[in-house]
C-alpha cells in the first residue's frame, strides 16, 4: 500500500507533535542530569537512549525498526541446543 | 464501519465496554485465554476459566449484538510450572468442540525460558493432533525480538503446521517482516507504551501491505484501550485511505483467518435479526 500523502502534508500534521516529543525527551534527560545521587557509572539504559537519539539524526531508512533493535536483547541462533530442545519432526 | 477485534480479553472488561464497542461498530471479538494477573493454583481454576470463556462470556457479548469467539491454553506467564501446564493441556480437548472455540491460544513466550519453550511446543503438538488453529503471543519490550525469532524457529521446524492457520500477535517494526516472510498471519496490538500506536500500525500497513495483517486492542485488566481499533480506523481515514482498504484490515482479514476454524460460525451484521446499537 503506497503512501497516500506528500511529505509537506505529513510535516504540516506532524511538526508540532514531533516538536513536543523532542521537548519531552530533552526535559527528561535534563531531569536525569539534575537528579541527586547520580551514579558515576553510565547506566546501560542511558547508553541505549544515546544510541537511539544518535540514530534519529541519520538519514537511514527504517529508523523505527533500528531503534527497536537497540532496545532488544540479542537473538541466539543456537538457543535450541543450549536449551536441550529437540528439533521437531 | 463494522469491525472485528481479533484479540481482546473481555472477561476483564466491563459491560459498559461492550456497549461502547457495539456503538463503535464492533460486531465480533475473539478472546484468547490469558494470564489473570496472578498464577492460578490448579487445573480446576483453568476449567472454570474455560467455562466462563465458552459459556457466560458469549452470552454477555450478545446482549450487545457482539459475537464472541475464544482460544484456549495456559498462558506463557504460567508455563514455568510445567506439571500444571501439562494438566491444563490434557484438559483443553474437553472444550475444543464447543461453539466459538477457534483454537489454541494465546500461546507463546514471555521471558524466553526453556520451560516456556517446552510448554509452547506441547501446545503446538496438541493443536496439530486436534487440527486446531493457533494464536500466538510474542513477548514484550526487550524480549520481543529474540522471543519472536525463537517462536518462528519452533513453528518453522514443525512440518505439520499450515502457516496460514497461525496468527503471530503483537508484532512491531522489528518483528513484522520475519512473521510475514515466513508465511504466517501477523497481528498488530494497539496498546499504550509497551506495544504499538495507531499511527505506527498504519505505517506498517503502508510498508508491508494489508495481506495477512490484523489490528487488535488486546484490551485486558491493565492500562489498555478496548476502542483502539476505531482509533486505527480514524488514523487510516485521516491519511486518505479508502473505506475498502480499511475494511480489509479490520473486517475482511479477521473473517478470512477465523474462517479456517470449524467452530467459526459468523452471522454478518447485515443479516442479523435485530442490529446492534
Return the percentage of chain B with pLDDT > 70, whole number.
Answer: 98
Helix (H, G, I), strand (E, B) or coil at A52: helix
pLDDT of residue A41: 83
Those residues of chain A that have pLDDT short of 50 are: none
* pLDDT tens per residue, range B173-214: 999 999 999 999 999 999 877 779 999 999 999 999 999 999
Are the beta carbons of B114 and A2 separated by less than 8 Å? no
pLDDT score of A89: 58
pLDDT for A36 equals 87
Whether residue B99 is predicted with pLDDT greater than 70 in this model: the reply is yes
How confident is the model over B109-126, as pLDDT tens digits?
999 999 999 999 999 999
Chain B residues lying within 8 Å of A3, measured CB to CB: 206
Beta-carbon separation of B145 and A1 below 8 A: no
pTM for the structure as a whole: 0.95
Are B203 and A74 within 8 A, CB to CB?
no
pLDDT over 80 (residue B251): yes
What residues in B contact A74, CB-CB < 8 Å?
Answer: 146
> Looking at residue B270, what is its pLDDT?
81
Taking an 8 Å cut-off on Cβ atoms, the answer to whether A65 and B173 are in contact is yes
- B33-69, pLDDT tens digit by residue? 999 999 999 999 999 999 999 999 999 999 999 999 9
Cell numbers for B5: 477485534
**Optimal mutation site among B79, B80, B111, B114, interface A, most CBs of chain A within 10 A:** B114
pLDDT at B274: 53
Q: What integer pLDDT is reported at residue B277 of this predicted model?
A: 44
Q: What is the mean pLDDT of residues B131-151?
A: 97
C-alpha radius of gyration, chain B, whole number: 17
Amino acid at each position: 500500500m503506497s503512501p497516500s500523502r506528500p511529505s509537506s502534508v505529513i510535516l504540516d500534521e506532524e511538526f508540532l507533535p514531533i516538536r513536543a516529543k523532542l521537548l519531552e525527551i530533552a526535559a527528561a534527560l535534563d531531569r536525569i542530569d539534575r537528579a541527586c545521587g547520580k551514579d558515576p557509572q553510565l547506566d546501560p539504559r542511558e547508553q541505549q537512549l544515546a544510541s537511539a537519539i544518535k540514530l534519529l539524526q541519520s538519514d537511514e531508512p527504517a529508523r523505527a525498526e533500528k531503534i527497536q533493535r537497540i532496545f532488544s536483547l540479542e537473538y541466539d541462533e543456537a538457543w535450541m541446543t543450549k536449551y536441550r530442545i529437540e528439533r521437531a519432526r | 464501519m463494522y469491525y472485528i477485534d481479533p484479540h481482546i480479553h473481555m472477561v476483564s472488561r466491563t459491560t459498559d465496554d461492550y456497549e461502547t464497542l457495539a456503538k463503535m461498530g464492533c460486531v465480533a471479538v475473539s478472546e484468547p485465554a490469558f494470564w489473570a494477573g496472578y498464577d492460578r493454583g490448579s487445573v480446576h481454576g483453568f476449567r472454570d476459566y474455560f467455562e466462563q470463556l465458552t459459556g457466560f462470556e458469549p452470552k454477555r457479548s450478545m446482549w450487545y449484538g457482539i459475537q464472541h469467539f475464544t482460544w484456549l491454553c495456559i498462558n506463557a506467564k504460567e508455563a514455568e510450572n510445567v506439571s500444571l501446564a501439562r494438566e491444563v493441556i490434557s484438559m483443553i480437548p474437553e472444550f475444543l468442540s464447543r461453539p466459538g472455540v477457534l483454537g489454541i491460544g494465546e500461546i507463546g513466550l514471555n521471558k524466553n525460558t526453556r520451560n516456556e519453550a517446552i510448554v509452547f511446543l506441547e501446545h503446538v503438538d496438541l493443536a496439530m493432533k486436534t487440527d486446531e488453529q493457533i494464536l500466538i503471543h510474542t513477548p514484550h519490550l526487550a524480549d520481543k525480538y529474540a522471543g519472536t525469532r525463537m517462536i518462528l524457529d519452533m513453528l518453522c521446524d514443525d512440518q505439520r503446521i499450515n502457516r496460514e492457520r497461525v496468527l503471530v500477535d503483537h508484532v512491531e517494526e522489528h518483528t513484522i517482516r520475519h512473521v510475514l516472510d515466513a508465511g504466517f498471519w501477523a497481528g498488530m496490538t494497539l496498546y499504550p507504551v509497551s506495544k504499538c500506536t495507531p499511527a505506527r500500525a498504519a505505517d506498517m500497513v503502508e510498508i508491508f501491505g494489508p495481506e495477512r495483517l490484523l489490528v487488535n486492542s488486546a484490551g485486558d485488566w491493565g492500562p489498555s484501550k478496548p476502542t483502539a481499533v476505531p482509533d486505527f480506523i480514524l488514523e487510516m481515514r485521516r491519511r486518505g485511505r479508502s473505506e475498502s482498504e480499511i475494511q480489509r484490515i479490520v473486517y475482511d482479514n479477521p473473517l478470512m483467518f477465523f474462517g479456517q476454524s470449524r467452530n467459526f460460525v459468523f452471522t454478518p451484521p447485515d443479516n442479523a435479526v435485530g442490529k446492534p446499537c
